Amino acid sequence: MDEQLNCAPGGFLSLSEDSVILSVNQTLCELLDLSSDVIIGQHIHSILPKSARVFYELYFMPLVQIGKRVEELYISLVAKNGKEIPVLINANKRENKSQNVIECILIPIKIRDEYENVLLNTKKELEKALLDKQKAVSELRTALKTVEEKQQELLGLYKQNQTFKIETKRELELARKIQETALTDRISNECIHIESHYRASHELSGDIYGIYQIDKYRYGVIILDVMGHGISSALITMSLQSLFQRLIPKDGNPQTVVKELDQYLHNLFQNSEQSMYYCTVIYLLIDTAAQEIDFINGGHPPAFLQDTTGIKELQSSFPPIGTFEGIEFKTTTLPYEKGSRLLLYTDGVTDPFGFNHLKPLLIDNQNIPLVSLKKKIIQSIDSTEFAYHESDDQCFLVIDLL
């Protein structure tokens, strides 16, 4: 069998007059999931279901025997797994080396029944429409009129929607500017140097941070990540920000600040369990005179404290705020040496990578200036390899303890 016929887009087989399979092409073998060695030499019945065998003997073979061509005859084959495969078969008989051979082309028609049903239904619908032409025309005119009216309504709604979208976008842009304006500025003096990065995944963010100088030696640093994104999360973020920016400058006690934020969330949603929100938070009170860090981590990714001995993780010891009432938040105290470096971040900075890439980045860039480190972290987030990830807010703080 030549290569073109062997790889033809339809099946091919040849039969003897007593219905023994003499040859098959590769396409038919693949269709039946059988090798040619298994098929050749078998009676045609071996690849026909029972119902098709009767049809083959009573209709197909008589047509071929009287010398007629068989065109587009519907029949089923049976594959190795027992599944029936509907095909159209074209066949004729010719003499080959003093032997009559029946050659067959088989075209799979897996969705023929669907097409036939569609055609039959269409035919019935057309016949019904023709029998009641006047009624159909009347209904069509009514439908056209209704469509025109609906088009006008939709056009009006579209214009209203466009106006609403423009106004909403303008308001969201204003809200975004207000949210960003409310963020505290960087701090740089002889005791401490703090740089920040903040990027919302949408117009508004569920992440927020705050940097506050409480007195000459103490600084309060906080990062929160409210569940979800968009307007609802941003509103909660802003309300929490207004609370902690009043609490932290007064005293900065971690237990007081985190407890007040937790209670605020519980009070906010006490009558609506379905709309309850929670928030991860990490708050640090840095005392540059005592060279100590008091912190509370509520369900937030661990902050990193890097010094000459390596990197320590400020792990979470409590669940996110707003989840369980009555939690007694306790402060953890860590000493630090001058020249240490801190990194605080939200999960949007690490999620794209599937692992925390920040610790190796800190190790590799321990001695570079803080501003340069900030740029390297941003570049790692925006790198081509991970540029697809834009579904989460991004926020981080880098701090040098001088």
Any idea which of 227-241, 254-268, 303-317 has the lowest mean pLDDT? 227-241
Residue (of 282, 256, 268, 245) closest to 322 by Cα position: 268
- Contact (CB, 8 A) for 224 and 240: yes
Any idea which of 34-43, 169-178, 210-219, 261-270 has the lowest mean pLDDT? 169-178
Mean pLDDT over each residue of the chain, to the nearest integer: 87
Q: What is the mean pLDDT of residues 282-293?
A: 97
Higher pLDDT, 96 or 229: 96
Q: What is the mean pLDDT of residues 133-162?
A: 87
Q: What is the pLDDT of residue 225?
A: 92
CA distance 297 to 286: 14
pLDDT tens string 38-82: 999 999 999 999 989 999 999 999 999 887 789 989 999 999 999
Q: What is the pLDDT of residue 230?
A: 67
Higher pLDDT, 288 or 353: 288
Pure H helices in 33-84? 36-39, 50-55, 61-65
Q: What is the pLDDT of residue 94?
A: 85
CA distance 262 to 325: 8
Higher pLDDT, 266 or 305: 305
- Identify the band that residue 229 occupies on the pLDDT scale cut at 50, 70 and 90: low
CA distance 381 to 144: 54
CA distance 393 to 384: 18
Report domain extents, the chain: 3-114, 132-172, 182-401
The residue type at 307? D
Q: Does pLDDT of 144 surpass 70? A: yes
- Identify the band that residue 196 occupies on the pLDDT scale cut at 50, 70 and 90: very high
* Best-predicted range by mean pLDDT (220-234, 297-311, 349-363): 297-311
Higher pLDDT, 402 or 231: 402
Higher pLDDT, 356 or 25: 25
Q: Does pLDDT of 186 surpass 70? A: yes
* Best-predicted range by mean pLDDT (131-140, 261-270, 289-298): 289-298
Q: What is the mean pLDDT of residues 125-150?
A: 84
Q: What is the pLDDT of residue 272?
A: 60
Q: What is the mean pLDDT of residues 90-115?
A: 83
pLDDT tens string 346-373: 988 886 555 578 999 999 999 999 999 9
Q: What is the pLDDT of residue 113?
A: 64
3-state secondary structure of 191: coil
Q: What is the mean pLDDT of residues 154-175?
A: 78
- Identify the band that residue 328 occupies on the pLDDT scale cut at 50, 70 and 90: very high
Q: What is the pLDDT of residue 384?
A: 47
CA distance 241 to 221: 12
Cβ-proximal residues to 224 (8 Å cutoff; 6+ apart), any chain: 207, 208, 209, 237, 240, 244, 261, 279, 280, 281
Task: Using DSSP bridges, classify how beta strands 310-314 and 279-287 pair: parallel, antiparallel or unpaired.
Answer: unpaired
Tell me the pTM.
Answer: 0.59
Q: What is the mean pLDDT of residues 261-280?
A: 79
Higher pLDDT, 161 or 39: 39
- Identify the band that residue 86 occupies on the pLDDT scale cut at 50, 70 and 90: very high
| Distance, first Cα to last Cα, the chain | 85
Q: What is the pLDDT of residue 343?
A: 97
Q: What is the pLDDT of residue 124?
A: 85
pLDDT tens string 105-128: 999 987 666 777 777 888 888 888
Q: What is the pLDDT of residue 388?
A: 45
Q: Which two tokens stand for residue 169?
A: 């976008």
> Of all residues in the chain, what percent are helix, strand and coil, respectively (each to 5)?
40, 30, 30
Architecture in CATH for domain 3-114? 2-Layer Sandwich (3.30)
Q: What is the pLDDT of residue 391?
A: 55
3-state secondary structure of 25: coil
For domain 182-401, the CATH superfamily is PPM-type phosphatase domain (3.60.40.10)
